[in-house]
Chain A
Amino acid sequence: MTRQRHDVLARVTSALRTVIVDEGMAASSPVMPQSRLVDDLGFDSVRIASLTIALEEQFDEILLLGEWIADASSPSDLTVDSLVEYLLGVLEEGT
């Protein structure tokens, strides 16, 4: 795993944990790279908006997640790993 990927994964994990704690979500499983946001962690559309805010605190800019969602074949495809991949692409584009 590259250093940048590791860094993005750590920030995404931290943002996910922030939302899970702040919103009082009873996540049934720990946050892992393969965790599915909807199926495993219990995220819905409203919580994705909260995640965008939590990610902004981590990355210091708004990174919209609409395209990440629209590119998935099913809500089950929205994993921590796929989010990291998407953000790496967005961050790469901006540099």
Chain B
Amino acid sequence: MPFRESESDGVLRLTLDTPGSPVNVFNLATARQLCGILDNLDAARTRAVVFDTAKPDSFLNGVGLMLAHATRTRDDVMSAAEIPWSAYRAIYECPVPTFAVVQGSCFGCGVEFALSCDYRIAADTSVTQFYMTEVADYLFLPLFGSTWNLPETVGLESAIDLLLWGQRWDAATAMRNGLVDEVAPASELAAVAHAFATRTAGLPVPEPAAAAWGDAEELAVARTRQRIDALPPTYQPLYEQALELLMLGAKKSGTYREHQRRELEASAHSALSANGKAAYSFFYLRQMASQRATGGARTGSAVLSVGIRDTDDGDARTLARDFVQRRVPQLQTAHWDDAALRLVSAGSAHADAAAGSGAVRVCLRAGHCDAVGLGIYAPAYHRGGRLVELAGTVSDGDEDLARELARALQRLGLEVARTTPRAGTLSDRMLAAYWRPWLAFAGGGGGAHLLNATLRAAGFVRLPSHVIDDLGGEPLASLLAARLGHGVGSADVALEALADAGFGAEQDPSLLDAFALSMVEVCAEVREAREARDQTILDLIARELLDFPRHLCSLGCWLTVDRVRSALANGPACALAGQAAAMRAARFADEGREFYR
């Protein structure tokens, strides 16, 4: 059974442990068991219910995706959601106080589960993270009551940040924002939760209350509407609806059950939309890329000893120190000479095949530092970017260690792209391919407003100006100068011209065609030279680093042979992408082999 039951001092402890799975999943068996337990709960004997996890890396991830997408009609969604919906309702309406004791990832329906409880306690570990994947990753609305509970718990503004803008909160941030009531070290979590539950046992459960509503909330709504207006038009209705639901939830308009029905209707509509279906497909590509990095292992067992040499390189130092400060359970710092992994600065930027600018070199095992195997490259890490490229080859004997490292990085909440590049990191090459047509466009007198309008209409939320902000104008100009053969000065001038985030009404389809030609060149090269295991790795980089649009599923899905052929017929696009890219794209079109079938 998914839940293990135990009881002491009138506190019922339900420990979730999805059988045979590295993460907890709220599947039908879980929902049915929970309904059975809560329906038969004797409030005279059981005075509080505590939900915790047997898996330190996962409180609860996933139910909505498969449930909402393996459906064709609204009625299908309603029918598939019925039992899980009843379980969430049973928690919310439980007659005794309920506690979510969160340790590990708490994603999507996991946040909704925690919100359905009266109180939340979180472990202060790096793997404990709260993230609502629904809108931010998969363009569909949540369906288990979060738009009712969230504004009341964290206030409207923070609710918007979490649901619409995909903020990821660690335990401390969740505490600061009111999502959790207490934070405790992992070793004390069970005792703290039990003490909290015992204190509260038998007390009346908190009544639902409307969130505060005043000038601050009106301002938050106005600001959010402004931000929604700047989104690609195809995303705007979904975000508007998410905001409307949060506002209704904040004002406690109607009853919980009425709101849940409203939320479910809206969720069904979004999940069945073409955008929702396409965005959802990326889940599998992301999972595949993740499994490529770790060799399929999703639970790190070995303890890795890590030596860190301080460096002047800001990004490298930040990343290396995070290994220590964010307390990844699997990692222990060790003396430099004794460490299995040794992290050092990459040295000169772009000179190394295994590491680009701001990279951390990883030396596997003592004595091999001259023959660096891997580089950890996280170009936007200092701005909250989650992409980490683990680049380079290692001997077969060290492969397990490299996979453990990938797993440790994933436990930090990072997306790991494992690559074996021949020249520079694939992240840098993707960045250069992204920027090449834009620099040519700016060099020919093209302006930011036309480019931004074109990209926005295509579904890019983050525009070139945002990418400049993420990476820094100066490092980006150096990178582009090195990779594209421009002078740093001319790259700088072009970036400056494109640093404006405004957009006009006019669009230029040649720009998107040029983008397709430029990107297909690098994807085809990587495939041919086997510099990544498959296209999922490049798709992950494109999503995380370039914000490739969610409703197009992935770069590899979008770059079809037909699309490339059509782009090749566009003369101005070929000129913007450059002759080399156009020639490589023509070869790709001739070969006629798609990235995916």
Chain A positions within 8 Å of B, measured between CB atoms, are 22-26, 38-39, 42, 44-50, 52-53, 56, 61-67, 69-75, 77-78, 90-91, 93-94
A66's partner among B80, B284, B296, B534 (CB-CB below 8 A) is B284
Say whether, besides A66-B280, A74-B80, A44 and B21 are in contact (CB < 8 Å): yes
- With a cutoff of 8 Å between Cβ atoms, the chain B residues found around residue A38 in the complex are 27-28, 66, 70
Q: Is B287 an interface residue (CB 8 A)?
A: yes
Q: Is B69 an interface residue (CB 8 A)?
A: yes
- With a cutoff of 8 Å between Cβ atoms, the chain A residues found around residue B65 in the complex are 45
Interface segment, one of B71-79, B176-184, B215-223, B505-513: B71-79
A63's partner among B69, B280, B597 (CB-CB below 8 A) is B597
Contact A65 B284 (CB under 8 A): yes
Say whether, besides A49-B291, A74-B76, A94 and B597 are in contact (CB < 8 Å): yes
Contact B291 A45 (CB under 8 A): no
Contact A45 B597 (CB under 8 A): no
How many of chain B's residues have a CB under 8 angstroms from any CB in A? 39
Say whether, besides A23-B20, A26-B19, A69 and B69 are in contact (CB < 8 Å): yes
A62's partner among B70, B291, B534 (CB-CB below 8 A) is B534
B291's partner among A50, A71, A72 (CB-CB below 8 A) is A50
Minimal beta-carbon separation of A40 from chain B (angstroms): 12
Contact B20 A75 (CB under 8 A): no
Quick one: which of A39, A45, A71 has the most chain B CB within 10 A? A45
Q: Is B450 an interface residue (CB 8 A)?
A: no
Contact B80 A52 (CB under 8 A): no
Minimal beta-carbon separation of A12 from chain B (angstroms): 15
Given A45-B65, A64-B557, A69-B70, 5 more A-B residue pairs with CB atoms under 8 Å apart are: A26-B19, A53-B296, A65-B284, A72-B70, A77-B70
Chain B positions within 8 Å of A, measured between CB atoms, are 19-23, 25, 27-28, 62, 65-67, 69-73, 76, 79-80, 277, 280-281, 283-285, 287-288, 291, 296, 534-536, 553, 557, 594-597
- With a cutoff of 8 Å between Cβ atoms, the chain B residues found around residue A46 in the complex are 21-23, 25, 62, 287
What total count of A-B pairs have CB within 8 Å?
107
- With a cutoff of 8 Å between Cβ atoms, the chain B residues found around residue A73 in the complex are 70-73, 76
Contact A93 B280 (CB under 8 A): no
Contact A71 B72 (CB under 8 A): yes
The residue on B at minimum CB distance from A54 is: B296
Contact B70 A93 (CB under 8 A): no
A-B contacts, 18 listed (Cβ < 8 Å) = A24-B20, A38-B27, A44-B27, A45-B25, A46-B21, A47-B21, A49-B284, A49-B287, A52-B288, A53-B288, A53-B291, A53-B296, A62-B595, A64-B596, A72-B72, A73-B71, A74-B76, A75-B70
- With a cutoff of 8 Å between Cβ atoms, the chain A residues found around residue B21 in the complex are 23, 25, 44, 46-47
The residue on B at minimum CB distance from A25 is: B20
Contact B597 A74 (CB under 8 A): no
- With a cutoff of 8 Å between Cβ atoms, the chain B residues found around residue A67 in the complex are 281
